[in-house]
Every structure is written in C-alpha cells, then in structure tokens.
Chain A
Amino acid sequence: MLIIKCPYCGEREQEEFACGGEAHIVRPKNSPELTDDQWAEYLFMRQNKKGIQFERWNHAFGCRQWFNVARNTATDEIIKIYNMGEKAPNVETNEPATPSGEPVIGSGNFSTSINISEKK
C-alpha cells in the first residue's frame, strides 16, 4: 500500500486517496470540429507507462483537494508531488531498464519526502 504525502494534509495512507488517472491530458478546446478518432484519443487512449508516470490524485476521504504525483509504476515509488496546473517535472531517477530487465528494487514507497535533487 502506498503512503502519499498530501500537499495539504501531510502523509496519509493510500486508502484515503483516489487516483484520477494520467495527468496533463488537456481537453480539446475545439470540440465541435473533432473527429471520432480525436475524441477517442482524448477519452480513452493512454500511455499506460511502465516507469515514471505523471498522474492526478484526489484526497477523497480527506481534504478533497486534487494534486499531481510523479510515480514509478514499475516499483510504485512516489518521486514527486506537485500542484495542479504545474508542468510535469523533469524527473531523472532509477527508471527501470524496460524492456530487458525488471527493476532491482521491489515495491518501494520510500521517497515521498525525498526531493528530486537528492535522488540520483
């Protein structure tokens, strides 16, 4: 289970949160002109990345605020938590060498409070 550091409430158990899926997917402004394929792209298609993924989380059973999380989906390690509206951070971390090889660390959740500059 993840321990997530809500920017407003501090560290809480994952049970209090709901994941809102991939972040930085912008709703198209010209919706009347969109083709069916473009709608499908916006509504359904996802990168579903193995490695660093940027996603939205909501502190559903807490302060109910939304925020963004950069998380390694191969290890479950949370790398950075940042506010809605901010750009995705440039994260360089122990991204697994996929394909070819699984990450050596298992399900980790140890860097909630570590900032990126400390992580190499």
Chain B
Amino acid sequence: MHKKPKKYSVFSLIKNALSYHENWQPAWRSPTPKKEYDAIIIGGGGHGLTTAYYLAKNHGLSNIAVLEKGWIGGGNTGRNTTIIRSNYLWDQSAGIYEHSLKLWESMSQELNYNVMFSQRGVMNVAHNLNDVRELKRRWHANRLNSIDCEWLNTDEVKKFCPVINTSPNIRYPVLGATLQRRAGTARHDAVAWGYARGADAMGVDIIQNCEVTGFDIQNGNITGVETTRGKINSKKIGIVAAGHTSVLANMVGIKLPLESRPLQALISEPVKPIIDTVVMSNTIHAYVSQSDKGELVIGAGTDGYTSYSQRGGFNIVEETIMAIVELFPLFSRMKMLRHWGGIVDICPDASPIISKTHINGLYVNCGWGTGGFKATPGSGWVFAHTIANDQPHALNAPFDINRFSSGELVDEHGAAAVAH
C-alpha cells in the first residue's frame, strides 16, 4: 500500500511556504495498470472519479482502476459552466439531483479539498405567460419535494439582481422568476482533483492516457478490457464516458438512445463583481454567471446535429449573446476572451441513463446531456451502488435503460433545456 497523502491545512500551507513550495507531494499517483481489478471505471471525469471514490468509501472495494484516455477532468468536467441546482420537475429527478446538492454542501470538508462551492442562488426568468405557468408549476413541484424554491415578481427580481433589465418595453420582458437560493456554482477542476485525491488515498489507481479499445466478453459475462496500455481484467466494468459512451457501447453491440452533440460556452474578460447570482432564461436562451476571477461565464446551446469535434457553430453563440445583451444591456461592450465546446450525450427525455446492461458486469452511466456537472457526486454515489450490488439504488432505479421500452420516460426538457 502506498503512503496516505498529508492533510491540507493552514499549517501545511505555512510549512510548505517556508520550503518555497518545493516539497508538496502529488495529489494522486500515476500507477502502471495491474493485471486485474475488482472494478474498472472507464472515464476519468467527475462522474467516473466519484464512482470510484464511493465504490471505495461506501462499498469497501479498494482494488479499483479509473481508465482515462486523456487526462482526468479534461472532458466535459473542465468544459461546463459549473452550475449546481436541484430544481427539477419530476420526483425521480428531484431525488437524484437533491441528493447531489446535499453532497455538494459537505464536499469540501469531506474531501479536505476546497471545491469553492458557492451557494449564490440560481434564478430562472419567465418572459411570457407560458413561462410563468411552467415555472410556477416547477416551483410548487420543488416545494412538494422539500427542495427550496421561491417565486419572485418583477420588482423582486430587480432587487435580487439589480443589473437585469426589467423594462416592460423589451421584446421579452421579465415577468418574474423562480429562485433556488441553495443552488450556485463550484470550481469544476477542483471537483475532479479533489475526488481523484480522495479516491487515490483509498487505493484507487487513476490511470491516465489509457484508452479502451475493446471489451472481452465470455458467455455473456464481461471479463476485461483491451486498452492502449494492454489487457486489464475485471468482472465489473462501468462506462462513464459522456459524449463518447456510444463509441464504447458500439464495441459490444449495445445501442443506446444517445446523440452526441457540441455544447458551447464562452467567457468574458474579467471585471469587478457585477452579478452575484446565476441568471438563466429558457425562452430567450440567456444564461450567465460571474466566476470568482470576475469573468462572465456564458453557456450557449447545443448544435442540432451529431458531432464529436468539440466545436460548434457560431450562430449558436450569436443567439446566446443577443439574449444576454437584451437582458443585460450594460454587458454589450464586453469582450469575450475564450470560447470552447464539449461533446454532450443527449437522451430523448433529457434524463440520464444509470443502468445495468444485458452483459453481466457491464454498467453504463450516460445521457447526462447538457446538465451533468451538478449531479457529479450523486451520480457517482448511485452508480457505485449499482456496480457494487449489481442492482440499482432506489434513486437511479427510474433511470434504467428499460424505460425506453416501457415508456416510463422522465421528461425533463423544461428543467434541463437551457440550464447546464
């Protein structure tokens, strides 16, 4: 066994400052893959790392590998707009997203790693009567599920977020908004790094630059994977590969109801604090918050076609910027610094798939589409349970792959459409 990493504290900071920060130990090891593991997680993003972490912590497995084809947190974990909330419509979604939100609230303490979770509130703005009805319905549904949510009228919106344009004369006036005060943002890279460090401390092997190229299946049981670093055996394998899930599933002949599409985001030059919450609007597709560095973080929409190229169309960016400028005219002369795309795996009902497959020992966790970041800890929690016990946790039982045959879909287009 390897040495347990030292706890981060103000004392370790001072001690290392005195030695010019030259003696920090790496937060996780870079082990060579073993021949066999009790469980293999394919995909070293947030969801994969949390799965490995909770397999070790909640289910006592220690011989686990996380295989990542690039570097950990380099996919959608590092490309999202870091919004965390749980104001979904249906009971099934409320269960899993609220469980996640509760894990976020204690994450920094549990991991001994500052993920900079900031509960600054998320405001969903209504611009027409249909929006008002839809959002009020969601407000009531949230409260019935013990999720905090408030309705704000136009004046209260203005008071909560003074920079928003509440003039009745704009094309899509602000008629009100729902507000979830416990929602907010976190530092996305820190989540991957914190869970990687926590998992590594419990003996999980995090193997980067190791791409899966095939699966070994005998008599309907999974027995291992072929990788760019050789064959690795395991009787339990979880696929958590977001946009590339279909690529892996196609290797074993599993068809999934997914479409992988580019989702873009962009970030402005840093400015002084101007907006201390998250504002999103489904109708005009505006969606903005401000990072701790002062940049405006803007989420755009998905392109309407399949692509793995990690870049999208400029028209999508243009539409988003138009909406932002209407809601926040004072942002009109801000310069955008960076712009990128990630590949999201979209399900027909905008809900995830966390499920067993028809191959024994092979599990999939995918379909998070545009909104997986907020679910990072909860997704890993229930997926670890599914892998360890070979049956779903109560929270992810509704998200079985069989729902597409049974028709029991969890339609979250209203809650997931814009908000990522």
Query: A residues within 8 Å of B by Cβ?
Result: 1-2, 13-15, 18-19, 21-22, 36-37, 39-41, 43-50, 53, 55, 73-76, 98-100, 106-107
Contact A73 B213 (CB under 8 A): no
Contact B257 A36 (CB under 8 A): no
Of A46, A74, A98, the residue contacting B256 (CB under 8 A) is A46
Q: Within the assembled complex, what's the spacing in Å between the Cα atoms of A109 and B311?
A: 12
* 10 A-B pairs closest in CB distance: A44-B257, A48-B246, A19-B305, A1-B313, A45-B255, A40-B405, A36-B405, A40-B404, A99-B213, A107-B309
Q: Within the assembled complex, what's the spacing in Å between the Cα atoms of A74 and B243?
A: 12
Q: Within the assembled complex, what's the spacing in Å between the Cα atoms of A40 and B254?
A: 13
Of A22, A41, A45, A48, the residue contacting B260 (CB under 8 A) is A48
Q: Which residues of A contact B256 (CB under 8 A)?
A: 45-46, 48
Contact B228 A100 (CB under 8 A): yes
CB distance from B296 to the nearest CB of A (A): 23
Once A1-B313, A100-B213, A100-B228 are accepted as A-B contacts, the answer to whether A50 and B308 lie under 8 Å apart by CB is yes
Contact A74 B308 (CB under 8 A): yes
Which residue, of B69, B258, B305, has the highest number of chain A Cβ atoms within 10 A?
A: B305
Q: Within the assembled complex, what's the spacing in Å between the Cα atoms of A50 and B258?
A: 12
Contact A73 B309 (CB under 8 A): yes
Q: Within the assembled complex, what's the spacing in Å between the Cα atoms of A46 and B250?
A: 10
Contact A21 B259 (CB under 8 A): yes
CB distance from A49 to the nearest CB of B (A): 7
B116 within 8 A of A: no
- Residue pairs across A and B with CB atoms within 8 Å: the count is 88
Of B247, B306, B309, B406, the residue contacting A98 (CB under 8 A) is B247
Once A15-B315, A36-B406, A100-B228 are accepted as A-B contacts, the answer to whether A46 and B309 lie under 8 Å apart by CB is no
Residue on A nearest B249 in the bound complex, by CB: A48
Contact A46 B259 (CB under 8 A): yes
Contact B315 A19 (CB under 8 A): no
CB distance from B253 to the nearest CB of A (A): 11
Contact B305 A49 (CB under 8 A): no
B314 within 8 A of A: yes
Q: Within the assembled complex, what's the spacing in Å between the Cα atoms of A44 and B69?
A: 28
B211 within 8 A of A: yes
Contact B306 A55 (CB under 8 A): yes
Of A39, A47, A55, A75, the residue contacting B309 (CB under 8 A) is A75
Q: Which residues of B contact A100 (CB under 8 A)?
A: 211, 213, 228
Q: Within the assembled complex, what's the spacing in Å between the Cα atoms of A47 and B248?
A: 11
Q: Which residues of A contact B250 (CB under 8 A)?
A: 47-49
